């Protein structure tokens, strides 16, 4: 075995370049504000889970329970209390769902960083 190096050549007919870049210049405080807003909107996308599960739980209680006098409280009061809870949790769920609509994608985040207008959905 010899220590010869074999070199192979390849004929290149054409070169296509796809290396164009776009530079975004932004101050750190403006970037921080945009990212905090995006984080808040992302966190809001999960806010509906708790009220939805509570609505289901209280609705099941109202549908399957026969309320009785307990702890000195009449049955009608217990039923009214759980109905009030159901209404409160439904309102909380509607509030959480209204915040759910106000989110945007990564591409829209980049457009916001570039200070371009973001189309609302």
User: Is 111 among the domain residues?
Assistant: yes
Distance CA 110, CA 41 (A): 15
User: In terms of domains, do 57 and 72 share one?
Assistant: yes
> How many of the other CB atoms lie within 10 Å of CB of 16?
4
Q: For the segment 50-92, what is each residue's pLDDT rounded down to a tens digit?
A: 899 989 998 888 888 887 887 887 888 888 888 999 999 999 9
User: Is 61 among the domain residues?
Assistant: yes
- Specify the residue for token string 């192979």: 8
- Specify the residue for token string 């209204």: 98
User: Is 78 among the domain residues?
Assistant: yes
User: Is 13 among the domain residues?
Assistant: no
Question: Quick one: CA torsion of 96, 100, 106, 111, rounded to 10 degrees?
Answer: -110
pLDDT band at 101 (very low <50, low <70, confident <90, very high): low
User: In terms of domains, do 52 and 41 share one?
Assistant: no
Q: Which domain holds residue 85?
A: 48-102
User: In terms of domains, do 73 and 86 share one?
Assistant: yes
- Please tell me the total count of domains within the chain: 2
Q: Measuring CA to CA, which residue among 23, 85, 41, 43 is closest to residue 60? A: 85
Q: For the segment 103-114, what is each residue's pLDDT rounded down to a tens digit?
A: 677 787 788 888
């Amino acid at each position: 075995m010899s220590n010869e190096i074999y070199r192979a050549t390849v004929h290149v007919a054409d070169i296509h370049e796809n290396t164009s870049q776009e530079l975004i210049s932004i101050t750190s405080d403006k970037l921080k504000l945009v990212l905090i807003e995006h984080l808040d909107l992302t966190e809001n996308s999960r806010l509906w889970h708790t009220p939805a599960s509570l609505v289901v739980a209280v609705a099941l209680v109202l549908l399957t329970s026969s309320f009785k006098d307990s702890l000195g409280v009449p049955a009608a009061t217990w039923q009214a209390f759980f109905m009030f809870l159901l209404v409160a949790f439904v309102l909380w769920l509607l509030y959480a769902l209204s915040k759910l609509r106000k989110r945007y994608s990564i591409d829209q985040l980049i457009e916001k960083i570039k200070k371009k207008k973001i189309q609302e959905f």
